[in-house]
Amino acid sequence: MSMLLEAQDMMYTYPSTDRPALNGLSLAIPTGSKTAICGHNGCGKSTFFLHSNGILRPQSGRLQWKGTDYSYRKADIHALRQRIGLVFQDPEQQLILNTPYEDISYGLRNAGFPEEEIRRRVEQMLVRMGLTHLADQPIHHLSLGQKKRITLAGILVLEPELILLDEPTAYLDPKSEVQLLEQLDRIHAQGVTIAMSTHDMNLVYTWADWVIVMDQGRVVLSGTPLDVFQQTDTLMTLGLRIPMLYDLWLALPESWRNGAAPPRDMEAFKAWVSTHHILQ
């Protein structure tokens, strides 16, 4: 398995704090994967993302892109940010200009693309993300879900190889979440590697093909979803939920798992779920 991004023993303490936010963080994001990074509030997920696209620099340890150490020269960081797109948790931190059209153009203009190419790419992106009708609206009139889509569009338009999303589904309603996940699947099918941080273990179970679990600035588990979810005790100790579907699968009678039919009556099934303390 080749790794796109690798961190080794990274340490980082924010100025004027005394506890490291990254405390010997070592992890790898496999090329072509859908990686979920989970862990409870404050475990260092956002801090890792800020390191990944060079906004922060580790105080020790190393970070590699395709096996090469990061270079912090201005031109190299500039080039890196086109390959690694970071979508912040809070779109307000990322949206700078007045309208979706202007905002989505911003990165391309910064990267020095000719105006004709900028127009072509932005218009295509607006269509792909279903944002054409909002292109010239003032951004502060838009909903959170729409703002999140605009920040994603502003990153996608640069055609990165890796997209990092910090809690992309937080505060989205179910419909917006489904739309976002469909967009991510489309992008992934085109060969883009995607890593997202999330607290939602059910989403991790259904979406990810690689899982990294962090605690207190370091990685405690990583591997395929099955590898990770089998470590039920560790996950519980970290205060993380076991995905509902995994829990249910484990609780199914052996005969059901081997193909025998569960009760066809929904009330009987509900009674069975409650006597087995699933979802509690």
The contact set with ligand ATP (CB under 6 A) reads 14, 17, 21, 39, 41-47
Amino acid identity, position 274: S
Tell me which residue of 169, 143, 178, 7 sits closest to 84, measured CA to CA. Answer: 7
Shortest Å, Cβ 94 to ligand ATP = 15
CA distance linking residue 220 with residue 232, whole number of Å: 13
Which of residues 9 and 90 has its CB atom nearest to ligand ATP in the complex?
90
Which of residues 47 and 99 has its CB atom nearest to ligand ATP in the complex?
47
Shortest Å, Cβ 16 to ligand ATP = 7
Which of residues 48 and 101 has its CB atom nearest to ligand ATP in the complex?
48
Shortest Å, Cβ 59 to ligand ATP = 13
SS (H, E, C) the chain: CCEEEEEEEEEECCCCCCCCCEEEEEEEEECCCEEEEECCCCCCHHHHHHHHCCCCCCCEEEEEECCEECCCCHHHHHHHHHHEEEECCCHHHCCCCCCHHHHHHHHHHHCCCCHHHHHHHHHHHHHHCCCHHHCCCCHHHCCHHHHHHHHHHHHHCCCCCEEEEECCCCCCCHHHHHHHHHHHHHHHHCCCEEEEEECCHHHHHHHCCEEEEEECCEEEEEECHHHHHCCHHHHHHCCCCCCHHHHHHHHCCHHHHCCCCCCCCHHHHHHHHHHCCCCC
Which of residues 16 and 280 has its CB atom nearest to ligand ATP in the complex?
16
Shortest Å, Cβ 261 to ligand ATP = 41
Which of residues 14 and 72 has its CB atom nearest to ligand ATP in the complex?
14
Going from the C-alpha of 33 to that of each of 3, 196, 223, 252, the distances in angstroms are 9, 11, 11, 29
Which of residues 216 and 234 has its CB atom nearest to ligand ATP in the complex?
216
Shortest Å, Cβ 222 to ligand ATP = 15
Which of residues 170 and 181 has its CB atom nearest to ligand ATP in the complex?
170
Shortest Å, Cβ 79 to ligand ATP = 25
Which of residues 64 and 216 has its CB atom nearest to ligand ATP in the complex?
216
Query: Contact, 240 vs 40, CB < 8 A?
Result: yes
Shortest Å, Cβ 177 to ligand ATP = 17
Shortest Å, Cβ 89 to ligand ATP = 6
